[in-house]
Every structure is written in C-alpha cells, then in structure tokens.
Amino acid sequence: MLVGAGHVRRRLAQVALLAGVLTGCSGAAESDETKTSASAAASADAAEDSVTAVKSGGTIGAAGSACELPVTFDIAEDWEAEAIDTGAAEEKAADSGDGSGDSGKDELAQEIADALLYQGPVAAACEVDAKPAGNIGFLRVWTGKPSDVDAHSVLEAFLAAENGTSKAKYSTFKAGDLAGVEVKYLYTSKLLEETKEESAIAVATKKGPVVIHLGGLDTDEHRAMLPAYELAKRTLRTT
C-alpha cells in the first residue's frame, strides 16, 4: 500500500510540474505573440509615416512638364523624369544595325524595340529615374489609345504581356476625380533566376488608359521606392 501511495504522490507531483511548465510556456507564447503583433504594428506605422513623409519634387503630366500625359502626378524629390518618344526610339533601333540590309537583324532590332516600348495595350511614354535619389529603379508611365476598355482589363492585359508574373492581387483606389485599379505581384526573371515584387496602377481617361509601374532591381529596392510610388498614386489627377 505504501508503494502505491508513493507512486500516486509522484504522479501528482509530475502532473503539477507539467502544469507549471505548460503555464510558463503559454505565458511565453503569449508574450512572444504580443511582441510580434507590436512589431508588426510598428512596422506598418513606420511604412505609413515614410509614405506621408516623402517630399514632392514637382508635378509632371501637364503641358510644358518633362512628360506630357493624360494625367498629372507628383514625383518624389530628386527623381528625374524624361519623356519617351516611341517613334524616335524605333528609328534608333532600326539604325543600330550595320547598314548591310540584313532583314534578320532588322527584324531582331524591331522585336527588341517592341519589347521595350510596348506592353499589352499601352506604350511607354515617360520614365522617372530613382537613381539621383539613391535607388535603382524607375516609375514608368505607359499610355494607350482612347477606348471603352476599363482600367482592370487594361492592367490584366499589361501583366499578361509580361512573362514570369505570378500571385497577382488586384484592388481598387480613388485619387481626386479618378477611380483606378492597382495590382501587386511577383515577377520571376528566367535569366537571373530571381523573383521580386512589383506594383502597378491603371486608370481610364478620355485620352486613353494610363499605367504607372514600379519595378526595381530587387524586392528591397522596390520596397524602398514604394513611398514615391504611393505619392504618385495619391496625387494622380486628369489633365
């Protein structure tokens, strides 16, 4: 009987010890969860502050600005905008051959020009360079001809024309008199075997659709440039 009683006491002691350990683990888990939630909230606040704090370097899109577009928006301080003349760029690509009249080289030059200047239903119109501000990447503006196609369809066609995209998430936004569509997605380069985040917005105007795209050297560069992208989205207006 004494042996049995001792066994019972030992079992009760083990149960009490186990309960104490589990209670301690639970408290630690809750503490870790609280810290994680606080950290996430702090990161979100910091991201929001960085978007709000980015300084404007001026507005582009209106007549007389660096890029004349169907829309206007603010570019971040130190970023530099330059208009893209698709006609001149195509001529330059055509003249880049050796003048031998090789039709194969001419076709290749045209294919390269098309790949750089056109994507789906839109053509390159403006490039805003982040390099002077210390980042590697661009805000690129693409425009299309007037049509009845809505912004969501334009953005879907834009992504469909870019091989290597995945996990696209669409959402809507409003800026001034415009209602637009945004997409966040991943782009995988087969050449570099790397995957990075990219973002784009699209709006439909009477002068045609407009797509503003943010890429970047990699995901870190992309995230570093998001405040400038958000500034453009927030200040977007029709001309």
Whole-number pLDDT of residue 170: 98
CB distance 162 to 151 below 8 Å = no
Domain count, the chain: 2
231 lies in the same domain as 213: yes
Whole-number pLDDT of residue 177: 87
168-40-200 Cα angle (round to 5): 25
Neighbour tally for 139: CB within 10 Å:
25
112 lies in the same domain as 78: yes
Cα separation, 104 vs 91, in Å, equals 16
34 lies in the same domain as 61: no
Whole-number pLDDT of residue 119: 96
- Which tokens in the block code for residue 60? 């582009």
30 lies in the same domain as 139: no
List, for residues 69-86, the tens digit of each pLDDT value. 999 999 999 999 999 988
25 lies in the same domain as 123: no
Cα separation, 116 vs 113, in Å, equals 5
Residue 152, domain extent: 55-238
26 lies in the same domain as 130: no
| Alpha-carbon distances, residue 184 vs 149, 159, 163, 196, 234 (angstroms) | 21, 11, 15, 11, 16
Q: Which one of 8-17, 39-48, 111-120, 179-188 scores highest in mean pLDDT?
A: 179-188
Strand partners for 204:
209
Q: What is the CATH number of the domain that holds 216?
A: 3.40.1000.10
153 lies in the same domain as 205: yes
Mean of pLDDT values over 117-145: 97
Burial of 8 (0-12, 13-18, 19+ CB in 10 A): exposed
82 lies in the same domain as 192: yes
- Which tokens in the block code for residue 39? 């950290």
Burial track 102-114 (b if 16+ CB lie within 10 A, e otherwise): eeeeeeebeeebe
Query: Nearest Cα to 215, choosing from 236, 235, 194?
Result: 194
Q: How much of the chain exceeds pLDDT 70, in percent?
A: 67
19 lies in the same domain as 69: no
173 vs 16, higher pLDDT? 173
Q: What is the pTM of this model?
A: 0.74
224 lies in the same domain as 153: yes
28 vs 100, higher pLDDT? 100
List, for residues 89-119, the tens digit of each pLDDT value. 566 655 655 555 566 666 666 667 677 899 9
42 lies in the same domain as 107: no
Using left for φ > 0, alpha for ψ between -120 and 50, and beta otherwise, residue 232 falls in alpha
Last residue of a domain, one of 13, 36, 53: 53
Whole-number pLDDT of residue 20: 43
| Residue 15, pLDDT above cutoff 60 | no
25 lies in the same domain as 134: no
